[in-house]
Structure 1
Amino acid sequence: MSPKATAPKFAQALRAVRIERGLSQEDFYEVSGRTYVSRLENDGADPTLAKTVQLAQVLDVHPLTLLTLTFCNKGTPAEVERLLSGVRDEIASFDKLRLDMRQRRPRSVA
């Protein structure tokens, strides 16, 4: 994690987007029980990446939207732009990043 990143606040982001979308915890029944969603919103559990994708689908947002708001304090457009600008700069700094090919492990010499 970048040293300038804030502590993640997934619980607040999930709750805020759920309320903004007018959804109840019960609306997540196809991907999670209400108890699990409540635990997530009360910082009692951390979702896997796969679960984050499922939650985002119910919220009708891209998973990156939910994760971006996780690292925001207020989620203002200016704050989001600063965060995404930093991420763009970090990604641009990778010289040889190749997501389209398998990484090969160097062979050990016997």
Structure 2
Amino acid sequence: MPTRKSDPPKAAVGRALQVLRAARDLKQEDLISSVSRRHIGRIEQGHQLPSIGMIEHLAEGLHIHPMTLLAVAYARRFDSASVEKVLKSVRADLSKLLPEDGS
């Protein structure tokens, strides 16, 4: 999993946005509704870290869950093994935090 030293959050989210946009065969312009192409470009270039609201907006434009964008941001590569490693870590964290009976 990337650390702040190896992959700053801004760069990781921007890289994930680029990868997922390419996987959906979308252009930056395809994500524009209430955000400018320049803003999307700044996020993808790692100059700006998107807010949670912006992550939700971008995920909606990509037709994915916002956690998908974040999982890809924290994966070392865009492949199933890297993404699964992130998801396994999240599941382990949640299993320690959630009550045993699921309530």
Which band: TM-score by shorter chain? 0.7 to 0.9
Gaps of 5+ in 2: 4-8
Runs of at least 4 residues of structure 1 off by over 3 A?
none
Which is higher, the Rg of structure 1 or of structure 2? 1
Question: C-alpha root-mean-square deviation of aligned residues, in Å?
Answer: 1.6
In 2, distance between residues paired with 1:42 and 1:35?
10
Long gaps (5+) in structure 1: 101-110
Q: Give the Å deviation of 1:26.
A: 1.1
Which has more helix, going by share of residues? 2
Percent identity (aligned): 29
Tell me how many residue pairs correspond in the alignment: 93
Secondary structure, in 3 states, of the residue corresponding to 2:64? Answer: coil
Of the three residues 39, 42, 49, the one matched with 1:39 is 42
**Conserved? CA contact 2:14–2:43, under 8 Å:** yes
Secondary structure of the equivalent of 1:45? coil
- Rate the CA distance shift 1:63–1:95 in 2: closer, same or farther, 3 A: closer
Superposed displacement of residue 95, structure 1:
5.7
